[in-house]
Amino acid sequence: MEQTLTREAETGNTLPFIEKEVEMGFFANYFAQDESGKLMMQSGCQRISHCSCNCNHCSFLSG
Amino acid sequence: MIREGEEIFFVDYDNDRAKTILYAPLRSYLALMSHSTKDMLLDENDNVVRQEFFKKLKSRAVIDVGKIAGQLHGMNPELSLSITDNCNLRCRYCHASAGEERKKGVMSHELIDVVLDSYFSHLLPGTKVIRIHMAGGGEPTFEFTTFKYAVTKAKEHASRLGITCTFAMATNGCYGNEVREFIRHNFHNVSLSFDGPPHIQNLHRPLANGKPSFEAVFETAKYFYSNRVSFAIRATVSDYSIEHLTDVVDFFVSHFPGVNVALEHLTPNGRALTDNTLRSPDKRKLAEKLVMLFEYVKGKPIKISNAASAEYDNVRPFFCTAVGIPNWTVSVDGEIVACARDNGPEAFNIGKVDLQRRTVLLDQAKVNGLRDMNIANYEECSDCFAKYHCCGDCPDRRLSDKCDCDSIRLVGKSLLNRKIDNLA
């Protein structure tokens, strides 16, 4: 799915009343640029499949 | 809270209580500001600070979690095959009570054939890559012949369709080189259950005959590590091991530098309900320990993780794909559940394998019900800064009232503080 905003829009000048800003980096996990430079949402994220029960089946953290 | 149509949260800044952290997860944005700035942002009256801030925030791209949820609904389910209920270990907290009298079942080859036929015919057109898990109540390699049969048959199906089939598994690591080699050559992701140094591993996870399991599991971990098998370690934390967590971390980092370790608390299910040797750790205490460990491992070649509280690399609408897609986990007797957790809620039982008709029957109403288990539908989470990270916690824990929001928020607050301080 196309995003109309470019990556450049993700950052900007800090406002004077903001002491510090941090980019959390979520876009990098969900979006990738296509050949034309548009941001495309990637389909799903395998890292979502963690679980925390005792069965151990979902802690596939090594991918 | 919602201001100017934006979802923002405020989190205490530990290093200076005169300041506060603003967090806008869907804008991937974190900011440090004074309380007076915060007050102006929340002021009902219009002011230039509020105007400028929200103008800037709205200029950033937004993550549409609704779209992400919709995409997950349209994905292929991940298939998990519970090869067996049986196990060569008798872990004191085993959720499945694996290996006990009525827990020694093995999946029939006929069932594997029907499931694979159905699964591959169910895949979306154009599918290029799938991942099949070998996971369930028991140790999948304990029935090695059936385990190999399932892998071989899945590969044959995938090959015929031109699909790349990757394999993942959870395993106790308690076996010899024949099994290790098979895993090395066929599996792409391995979650190795390994609770730490001998005094912990042997207490938590004894063999069926009561003898220690440490040496075999340690050898497996060394084999995986030296042969570059992609594996992560899952260590369950009990009321005993919580007192030794730095030892656990030191142990893993010294023997397996670079490894990812998931530290998850013991949940009282299955055998843990009758074996009183170990208990769940105090959740608040574990949260405090995790916060300490994040600092402790700084600069060390190890990543510490905790599924409910420490996922701050992305935002997510669902806790897991078990409910998000949902997935198919097939039991040894052909029941299909969304999650491999034994004794899961009835809501997770989404279908069954019909051997006579050689097909899979899914209950679409239950599938839809699981898909509703997402953060957008948890009203009590609406004002929590951690909502897109814990996602209301594990759906099973949620349904069994075993969540612990305070601990999740404690860890989350620490991680956001570390982000602001450039420590994370």
Residues B19 and B42 in one domain: yes
Alpha-carbon torsion (B82, B84, B87, B91), positive or negative: positive
Alpha-carbon torsion (B251, B253, B254, B256), positive or negative: positive
- Quick check: is A61 in a domain? no
Give the separation between CA B293 and CA B181, rounded to whole angstroms: 34
- Quick check: is A59 in a domain? no
pLDDT at B129: 85
CB contact under 8 A, B234 and A59: yes
- CB distance B82 to B327 below 8 Å: no
Where do runs of H (alpha helix) occur along B187-325? 198-204, 214-226, 245-255, 283-296, 321-324
- Quick check: is B139 in a domain? yes
Number of domains in chain A: 1
Distance from CA of A39 to the nearest CA of B (A): 10
Judging by DSSP bridges, how do beta strands B231-237 and B189-193 pair with one another?
Answer: parallel
Q: Indicate which of B194, B264, B266, B304 best probes the interface with A, i.e. most A CBs within 10 Å of its own CB.
A: B264
Higher-pLDDT residue of B401 and B86 is: B86
Residues B18 and B150 in one domain: no
Residue type for position A58: C
Give the separation between CA B213 and CA B208, rounded to whole angstroms: 9
Give the separation between CA B265 and CA B309, rounded to whole angstroms: 11
B285: CATH: 3.20.20.70
Residues 160-189, chain B: which have Cβ within 8 Å of A?
Answer: 168, 170, 188-189
Residues B133 and B223 in one domain: yes
Distance from CA of B100 to the nearest CA of A (A): 16
- Please name every residue paired with B360 in a beta bridge, in sequence order, or none if there are none: B353
Instruction: Note the pLDDT tens digit of each residue in B211-253.
Output: 999 999 999 999 999 999 989 899 999 999 999 999 999 999 9
Half-sphere exposure of A21 (CA within 13 A, CB side): 20
Give the separation between CA B294 and CA B290, rounded to whole angstroms: 6
The mean-pLDDT minimum among B251-265, B339-353, B385-399 falls in B339-353
Residues B55 and B165 in one domain: no
- CB distance B220 to B180 below 8 Å: yes
List the domain range (segments joined by +) for residue A40: 2-49
pLDDT at A12: 54
Residues 292-351, chain B: which have Cβ within 8 Å of A?
Answer: 303, 305-308, 311-316, 318-322, 324, 339-342
Give the separation between CA B359 and CA B361, rounded to whole angstroms: 7
- DSSP class per residue in B21-79: EEEEGGGTEEEEEEHHHHHHHH-SS--HHHHHHHHHHHHS----HHHHHHHHHTSPPPE
Q: Which residues contact B248 (CB under 8 A, 6 or more apart)?
A: B195, B196, B197, B200, B235, B241, B261, B263
- Quick check: is B391 in a domain? no
Instruction: Note the pLDDT tens digit of each residue in B195-206.
Output: 999 999 999 999
Give the separation between CA B261 and CA B234, rounded to whole angstroms: 6
- Please name every residue paired with B136 in a beta bridge, in sequence order, or none if there are none: none
- Quick check: is A63 in a domain? no
DSSP tag of B3: E
B228: left (phi over 0), alpha (psi -120 to 50) or beta: left
Cis amide bond preceding B326, omega within 30: yes
CB contact under 8 A, B320 and A21: no
* Residues of chain B contacting residue A30, judged by C-beta atoms under 8 Å apart: 63, 68, 314
Give the separation between CA A19 and CA B421, rounded to whole angstroms: 12
| pLDDT-based confidence at residue A51 (cuts at 50, 70, 90) | very low
Is a pLDDT exceeding 50 seen at residue A59? no
Is a pLDDT exceeding 80 seen at residue B71? no
Closest residue of chain B to A56, computed from CA coordinates = B170
pLDDT at B389: 87
Half-sphere exposure of B224 (CA within 13 A, CB side): 34
pLDDT at A63: 32
Residues B55 and B188 in one domain: no
Give the separation between CA B50 and CA B40, rounded to whole angstroms: 6
The mean-pLDDT minimum among A32-46, B203-217, B223-237, B293-307 falls in A32-46
Is a pLDDT exceeding 80 seen at residue B106? yes
Q: Closest Cα partner for B388 from B313, B316, B310, B308?
A: B316
| pLDDT-based confidence at residue A1 (cuts at 50, 70, 90) | very low
Residues 345-364, chain B: which have Cβ within 8 Å of A?
Answer: none
- DSSP class per residue in chain A: -EESS-GGGG--PPPTT--EEEE--HHHHHEEE-TTS-EEE-S--GGGG---STT-TT--TT-
pTM: predicted TM-score of the whole model, two decimal places: 0.85
pLDDT at B324: 80
- Quick check: is B394 in a domain? no
CB contact under 8 A, B53 and A57: no
Q: How many CB atoms are closer than 10 A to CB B383?
A: 11
CB contact under 8 A, B269 and A18: no
- Please name every residue paired with B139 in a beta bridge, in sequence order, or none if there are none: none
Is a pLDDT exceeding 60 seen at residue A35? no
List the domain range (segments joined by +) for residue B41: 1-62
* Residues of chain B contacting residue A27, judged by C-beta atoms under 8 Å apart: 28, 61, 63
- DSSP class per residue in B344-376: --GGGEEEEEETTTTEEEE-HHHHHHHHT-SGG
Residues B10 and B136 in one domain: no
The mean-pLDDT minimum among A36-50, B127-141, B149-163, B305-319 falls in A36-50
pLDDT at A53: 42
**H or E stretch at B109:** helix B109-122
Distance from CA of A34 to the nearest CA of B (A): 16
Number of domains in chain B: 2
Residues B248 and B105 in one domain: yes
Query: Which CA distances in Å does B88 have to B104, B171, B328, B333?
Result: 11, 11, 25, 20
User: A7, exposed or middle or buried, with CB in 10 Å at 0-12, 13-18, 19+?
Assistant: middle
Higher-pLDDT residue of A60 and B209 is: B209
pLDDT at A54: 40
- CB distance B265 to B339 below 8 Å: no
| Closest in B56, B63, B188 to A26, CB measured | B63
| Closest in A3, A24, A51 to B322, CB measured | A51
The radius of gyration of chain B from alpha carbons, rounded to an integer in Å, stands at 23
Closest residue of chain A to B317, computed from CA coordinates = A48
Residues B57 and B75 in one domain: no
Distance from CA of A38 to the nearest CA of B (A): 12
- CB distance B30 to B312 below 8 Å: no
CB contact under 8 A, A20 and B32: yes
Residues B191 and B84 in one domain: yes
| pLDDT-based confidence at residue A5 (cuts at 50, 70, 90) | very low
* Residues of chain B contacting residue A51, judged by C-beta atoms under 8 Å apart: 307, 319-320, 322, 339, 341, 394
Give the separation between CA A31 and CA B314, rounded to whole angstroms: 11
- Quick check: is A56 in a domain? no
- Quick check: is B192 in a domain? yes
* Residues of chain A contacting residue B195, judged by C-beta atoms under 8 Å apart: none
